[in-house]
Structures are given as structure tokens and as C-alpha cells.
């Protein structure tokens, strides 16, 4: 794929991301009594997606912007892949860090291709390599290059602009990507699709992604780890979503994750973790009598209609099929479907508005995989709940990484003698 990785990134194998370390980082804006960020220490492991959450004004954006030196710390150090970020010039640093913000913030007078090519151009890639990279990225974020390459931002929907913003952030294959409320400005359904896409891109690329959000559900869904901050960027808890939900470190975290944490656990499970129902499918033009016979044989009472590229276009009950003759090219514009990487939460949401009490599941390039039925999800929740009750009796709270265990230090000291 692309070459020219920054010298500071680990080059062998996956993950392709780089570790980021905050060491007692403080940011004091002029004229402010309290620091916006007060002695933040933090290790962001290479190849992980870490979500910064916390109430408005707690210092998330400031912490993020110190990583690419849009803000400079008042004191403390930040390293990327072991190298102090102040040891090189800022422009050079920023070319190695993707930056994605709300709305995509595209240049209005440049085409989609020109917008994506900004950093590769600065890096003086040759024309052909840039063109190839632009098409590759448009494909990756789900936009047909032939259609979108030469469009202007104002000709795109909000969700499409955000996709281009993500493509631009990835363009020069940086080991680190910073995102600030990247999906805050799009509607809920588009947001869900963008989140699913980001997860599937990340499972392939394994960048180090730091993402600011005010949405705890988004953090639970996307994060390998979540950093929950209070005012002054003080760490309330830094842990995996599983551990935070199972054992909130204090009442602030408890309040922040809010009620219904067992429902939130649904966001930790992907649709493809549960058994899908194989449905009878058919294509427009097939003989209705033949299709109905196939459905009867499978004891099915409905048929999923696919287009020539195996993408679902309609979901019909048998009594909605014509009595005989070819199946028409019917198209349900409101057909609910979710990606196999979607969370059970999203799937449940889609199911509740579906006439079938189930939702269509698609995989790569939106191809049909099967359906997920409500009873399958209900069974899963039931099993989880009974396991959780058993575990509660047996175990204590999981340890929080990053918090030193004094007894451990003492034991080490004792061993030295
Ligand atoms: P968050 O992203 O968590 O909402 P910010 O990092 O934007 O928080 O802000 C943290 C604190 O720093 C807030 O009190 C905010 O008002 C202040 N702040 C942010 N940016 C500036 C700035 N450029 N100048 C002065 N104060 C700022
Ligand atoms: Mg902010």
C-alpha cells in the first residue's frame, strides 16, 4: 500500500500506530485562574483507539491539541513513539498526525480529491501516487471515486463531507490520528454508519487514534479504552469500556455513564457475535412460483430481495409476492439494515422499527449476510445477565491500569535485598 512512513513509527507488522505518552502535562491559558489541563499523565498504547470523554470545558480538546502542537503545554512533556514532540518542527510533526474535526472542515474551493491530497502534496508525493491514494481512500470510506473525486464540498451531504474529512486524516498514512467530535454534526443514522466504518477501517489499519467525544455511548462503542476526565483534565478513570461499565471507579464515573449500564453492555457486542438467521433470498425477475416453493421448503414466511450485487433492496412476505410470473424490481426505501460490525444496541434500535421483528445484516460492500432476530438478542441479554450475577458473587473489581499499586511497589523493594 502506501510507503513513506514517518521515521518515528514502528515499521514492522501491526499495529501501525505509535505509542503516545503524556508526562505531567499542564496547560494554563493566559488570564485563567485554574489550568485547563493539570498535570495529566497518560499512556496511549500503539494501535489502540482511546476515547476522551468528560463534561464540557474539562480540557479534552486542549489535551488533544497539545499532541499536534496546536497548543503548547505550559509544562510537562508529550512523546510519540518515544520521541519528544518538541524535538522537531511543528509542520513536520503535523504531517505525521492525521487530524479530523467536526464537519470535516474541508476547503470549500477545492475538490474532494484536492482536499484529500493536501498532506501528500506537502510531502511532495508524485502525481500518480497521489491520484491512486485518493481513489483508494474514497473507496475505504465508502464513496465511489468515479463519482466523488471531482465534486466540491457543497455538493456533498454532511455525512459525505465527514467521510472525506476522515479520508483526508488518513491520507499520508500517519501512525497517529486525532479526532475531535468527528461525528457530532451528522444525523444519528449516518453517525452510526460512520462509526461502523471507522471501526472496520481501524481493525485493518490499527492506528493510534485519540478521539474526543461528549457521547459516552460513542465512547463505549468505539473505544479500546476510555479516558473519563473531570475539570482540569483530572483522570476519573482510564480503562476498557468493559471494566468501566462493570466497575465505575467512583460516583462521578457512575453518574457520567448514567443509568442502564446493563443496556449499555449491548454496545460492547457486535452483531456478528450472535448467530444470524439464514433467510431465503431472491432476485428480481425470478419466477414467483419457484421462489414461493423455495420459501415453503425452508419454512420461511418471507423473502429478502437482492440486487445484482447482492445488496438487499426489499423484504417481502410471501403474500406480497405476485401469484405468478417474474418478481418485480421492488425497492423499499426505508428498509432497515445494519452492518455486521454494528452493536447490538444499534441492531435493537433498527429492529424496533421493522415490521419483521428482525433486522437485515450486511457485510462487505453492503452485501446481504442474513438477519438478526429479536429473540436471539433477548436470549443473549438473558445469558449475560445471569452470568453477571454469578460473577458478582465471586470476583472483586478489576484493577485499573495506570494506577500504581503500593503493595506491588513494596514487594519489589523487598525483593531487592
Ligand atoms: P473541552 O474540549 O473538554 O470542552 P477545552 O479543552 O476546550 O474543553 O477547554 C478547557 C478549558 O480551557 C475551558 O475552561 C475553556 O474555556 C478554556 N479554553 C479553551 N481554549 C482556550 C483558549 N484558546 N483560550 C483561553 N481559554 C481556553
Ligand atoms: Mg472540545
Residue range 68-109, pLDDT digits in tens: 999 999 999 999 999 999 998 998 899 889 999 887 789 999
Task: Say how far apart CA 60 and CA 68 lie, in whole Å.
Answer: 14
CA 48 to ligand 2 centroid distance, Å: 21
The three cell numbers locating residue 194: 460512520
Residue 21 confidence (pLDDT): 98
Residue with the larger pLDDT of the pair 174 and 1: 174
The domain 273-376 having CATH identifier 3.10.580.10: the answer here is: yes
Q: Nearest bound ligand to CA 233?
A: 1
CA-nearest residue for atom 10, ligand 1, is 59
Q: pLDDT band at 12, cuts 50/70/90?
A: very low
Of 62, 213, 228, best ligand 1 pocket probe by most atoms within 8 Å of the beta carbon: 62
CA 54 to ligand 2 centroid distance, Å: 10
pLDDT at 231 over 90: yes
Q: pLDDT band at 65, cuts 50/70/90?
A: very high
From the alpha carbon of 63, which atom of ligand 1 is closest?
Answer: 6
CA 246 to ligand 2 centroid distance, Å: 27
3-state secondary structure 221-243: HHCCEEEEEEHHHEEEEEECHHH
Residue range 124-141, pLDDT digits in tens: 999 999 999 999 999 888
Task: Say how far apart CA 279 and CA 397 lie, in whole Å.
Answer: 42
pLDDT at 392 over 60: no
DSSP 58-90: SSHHHHHHHHTTSS--SEEEEEETTEEGGGS-H
Q: pLDDT band at 9, cuts 50/70/90?
A: very low
**Mean model confidence pLDDT for the chain:** 86
Closest CA to 212 of 317, 363, 338, 100: 100
Of 29, 70, 179, best ligand 1 pocket probe by most atoms within 8 Å of the beta carbon: 29
From the alpha carbon of 62, which atom of ligand 1 is closest?
Answer: 6
Residue range 345-372, pLDDT digits in tens: 889 888 887 778 899 999 888 899 999 9
Output the CA angle 10-12-13, nearest 5 degrees: 115
Residue range 145-164, pLDDT digits in tens: 999 999 999 999 888 998 89
Do domains 20-259 and 273-376 share one topology? The answer is no
Residue 397 confidence (pLDDT): 45
Run of H or E including 288: helix 288-297
Question: How deeply is 33 buried, as exposed, middle or buried, from its count of CB atoms within 10 A (0-12, 13-18, 19+)?
Answer: exposed
Superfamily of 20-259 according to CATH: P-loop containing nucleotide triphosphate hydrolases (3.40.50.300)
Q: Three-state DSSP class for 53?
A: strand
* Domain boundaries, given as residue ranges, for the chain: 20-259, 273-376
CA-nearest residue for atom 25, ligand 1, is 29
CA-nearest residue for atom 24, ligand 1, is 29
Q: pLDDT band at 399, cuts 50/70/90?
A: very low
Residue with the larger pLDDT of the pair 5 and 355: 355
Name all residues whose Cβ lies below 6 A of ligand 1: 29, 32, 36, 54, 56-62
Question: How deeply is 2 buried, as exposed, middle or buried, from its count of CB atoms within 10 A (0-12, 13-18, 19+)?
Answer: middle
The verdict on whether omega for the bond into residue 145 sits within 30 degrees of 0, i.e. cis, is no
CA 21 to ligand 1 centroid distance, Å: 21
Task: Say how far apart CA 375 and CA 373 lie, in whole Å.
Answer: 6
Exposed e or buried b for every residue in 257-273, given b needs 16+ CB within 10 A? Answer: beeeeeebbbbbbbbbe
Amino acid at each position: 500500500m502506501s510507503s513513506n512512513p514517518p521515521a518515528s513509527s514502528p515499521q514492522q507488522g501491526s499495529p501501525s500506530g505509535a505509542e503516545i505518552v503524556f508526562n505531567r502535562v499542564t496547560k494554563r491559558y493566559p488570564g485563567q485562574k485554574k489550568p485547563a489541563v493539570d498535570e495529566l499523565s497518560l499512556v496511549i498504547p500503539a494501535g489502540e483507539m482511546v476515547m476522551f470523554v468528560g463534561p464540557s470545558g474539562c480540557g479534552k480538546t486542549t489535551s488533544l491539541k497539545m499532541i499536534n502542537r496546536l497548543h503548547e503545554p505550559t509544562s510537562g512533556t508529550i512523546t510519540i513513539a518515544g520521541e519528544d514532540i518538541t524535538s522537531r518542527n511543528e509542520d513536520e510533526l503535523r504531517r505525521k498526525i492525521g487530524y479530523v474535526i467536526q464537519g470535516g472542515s474541508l476547503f470549500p474551493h477545492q475538490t474532494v480529491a484536492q482536499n484529500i491530497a493536501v498532506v501528500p502534496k506537502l510531502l511532495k508525493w508524485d502525481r500518480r501516487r497521489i491520484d491512486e491514494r485518493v481513489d483508494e481512500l474514497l473507496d475505504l470510506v465508502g464513496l465511489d471515486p468515479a463519482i466523488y473525486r471531482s465534486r466540491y464540498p457543497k455538493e456533498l451531504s454532511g455525512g459525505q463531507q465527514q467521510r472525506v474529512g476522515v479520508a483526508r486524516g488518513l491520507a499520508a498514512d500517519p501512525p497517529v490520528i486525532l479526532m475531535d467530535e468527528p461525528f457530532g454534526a451528522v444525523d444519528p443514522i449516518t453517525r452510526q454508519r460512520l462509526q461502523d466504518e471507522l471501526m472496520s477501517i481501524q481493525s485493518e489499519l490499527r492506528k493510534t487514534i485519540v478521539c474526543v467525544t461528549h457521547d459516552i455511548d460513542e465512547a463505549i462503542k468505539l473505544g479500546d479504552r476510555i479516558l473519563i476526565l473531570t475539570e482540569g483534565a483530572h483522570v476519573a478513570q482510564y480503562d476498557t469500556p468493559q471494566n468501566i461499565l462493570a466497575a465505575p471507579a467512583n460516583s462521578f464515573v457512575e453518574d457520567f455513564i448514567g443509568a442502564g449500564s446493563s443496556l449499555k453492555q449491548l454496545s460492547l457486542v457486535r452483531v456478528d457475535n450472535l448467530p444470524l438467521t439464514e433467510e431465503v433470498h431472491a432476485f428480481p425477475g425470478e419466477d414467483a412460483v419457484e421462489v414461493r416453493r423455495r420459501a415453503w421448503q425452508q419454512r420461511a414466511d418471507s423473502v429478502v430481495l437482492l440486487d445484482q450485487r447482492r445488496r438487499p433492496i426489499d423484504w417481502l412476505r410471501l403474500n406480497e409476492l405476485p401469484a405468478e410470473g417474474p418478481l418485480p424490481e421492488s425497492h423499499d426505501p426505508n428498509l432497515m439494515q445494519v452492518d455486521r460490525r454494528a452493536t447490538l444496541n444499534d441492531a435493537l434500535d433498527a429492529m424496533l422499527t421493522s415490521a419483521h421483528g428482525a433486522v437485515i445484516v450486511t457485510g462487505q460492500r453492503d452485501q446481504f449476510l442474513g438477519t438478526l432476530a429479536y429473540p436471539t438478542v433477548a436470549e443473549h441479554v438473558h445469558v449475560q445477565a445471569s452470568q453477571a450475577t454469578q460473577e458478582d458473587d465471586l470476583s472483586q473489581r478489576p484493577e485499573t491500569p495506570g494506577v500504581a499499586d503500593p503493595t506491588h511497589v513494596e514487594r519489589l523493594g523487598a525483593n531487592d535485598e
